[in-house]
Structure 1
Amino acid sequence: MAMDLTTLNNSSNEDAAHAFMQCCVSERWVERMVNSRPFADIEALNSAADSNWKNLDDADYLQAFEGHPMIGDVSTLRAKYANTKELASGEQSSVNQATEDVIQALAAGNKAYFEKNGFIFIVCATGKSAAEMLALLEARLPNDSATEIVNAAEEQRKITRIRIEKML
């Protein structure tokens, strides 16, 4: 849903909410973004996106995380990392073909992370290989859930910014 800033600023609240929901599914963040319009320029939009993301409740962050598909089984991971060109609409376009060992380890790590924290592993995958993703997952797995909500929220913020850029 590509649009320009003028169209976004002049859209109905419903249409603007729909556009922002494509970037992040936290209802409170979307509401804040709709109410922050009009934006003078892209920098103002990005600044609002960041400031509206800050100080949300953990429940709002968890709602945003639910907008991501869970990647846990080996066949899903094989499919995800098989193609290096158009994964997640370019969000993971630099991912290298993963070895079977890396795929198996990612599957196990994602499952362990979800079981420990109650939400999926969130990372901004842009420009990261499957091996890099595994290293990040393994580095964050020992953290407690409170720390991981903060880490995942920051990764979600990065993902949302990329999606905003794609939207415009």
Structure 2
Amino acid sequence: MGAVDSFNALPAERLEAELLACCAAPAWGTAVAAGRPFADRAGILAAADAASRELSWPEVLQGLAAHPRIGERAAGDSKEAAWSRAEQSTAAQSADDTAKAELIAANREYEERFGHVFLIFASGRSQSEILAAARERLGNDDAAERSIVTDELRRIARLRLERVLDAL
């Protein structure tokens, strides 16, 4: 049985858990699950992308609630926490004291400005790239930043869904 067939055959409870680990916004998982059965991997990923783009801002905030601050190590032994630790680049987690302080300050300023955690697709990015993006995004208005955050959440959810499929 291939990954797509396995995904289509997952019991609802397990599928829900897998999808919530990808994106903590229940509406996203519900929308993806509603597309079953899928003909191929591309169809699953397209449904995930579409579901991300359809999230309301309160639903995006639900998704954000599961993400630690960039540079902070996610706690716990859940699949989501392990993925988060892997996604945040080693540079973001092991920066020198000055760089860590700058990232903490940027996180704090961002949260004060926008009222939620700074979210970025961190896989493969250096600490300096992440810090530069945080500083740049502080200049965005609320609408522009919400659009960016929604897309960053989409990219993270898609990467995690690909990991689920690869493991089936």
TM-score (norm: length of structure 2): 0.83
**Residues 89 and 127 of structure 2 are in contact (CA less than 8 Å); yes or no, is this contact kept in structure 1?**
no
Structure 1 outlier segments of 4+, above 6 Å: none
Q: Which residue of 2 aligns with 1:135?
A: 132
Is residue 2:54 matched to residue 1:58?
Answer: no
RMSD over aligned Cα atoms: 2.2
Instruction: Write the deviation string for residues 133-165 of structure 1: whole angstroms up to 9, x where unpaired.
Output: 000000001212222111111111111111011
Which structure carries more relative contact order (alpha carbon 8 Å, separation 6+)? 2
Change (3 A) 1:120 1:163: same
Give the partner amino acid of 2:44: L
**Residues 116 and 145 of structure 1 are in contact (CA less than 8 Å); yes or no, is this contact kept in structure 2?**
no
Structure 1 unpaired stretches of 5+: 78-85
Q: Which residue of 1 aligns with 2:84?
A: 88
**Residues 4 and 40 of structure 2 are in contact (CA less than 8 Å); yes or no, is this contact kept in structure 1?**
yes
Is residue 2:165 matched to residue 1:164?
Answer: no
Q: Which residue of 2 aligns with 1:103?
A: 100
Instruction: Write the deviation string for residues 6-51 of structure 1: whole angstroms up to 9, x where unpaired.
Output: 2220122222111111100111111111111111111111111011
**Residues 92 and 125 of structure 1 are in contact (CA less than 8 Å); yes or no, is this contact kept in structure 2?**
yes
Structure 2 unpaired stretches of 5+: 74-81
Q: Percent identity?
A: 32
Question: Equivalent residues in 2 for 1:65-76 (5 A)?
Answer: 65-71=64-70, 76=72
Instruction: Write the deviation string for residues 65-120 of structure 1: whole angstroms up to 9, x where unpaired.
Output: 11102358xxx47xxxxxxxx98353134637423222111000101111111110
Change (3 A) 1:93 1:101: closer
CA distance in 2, matches of 1:110, 1:130: 13
TM-score (norm: length of structure 1): 0.83
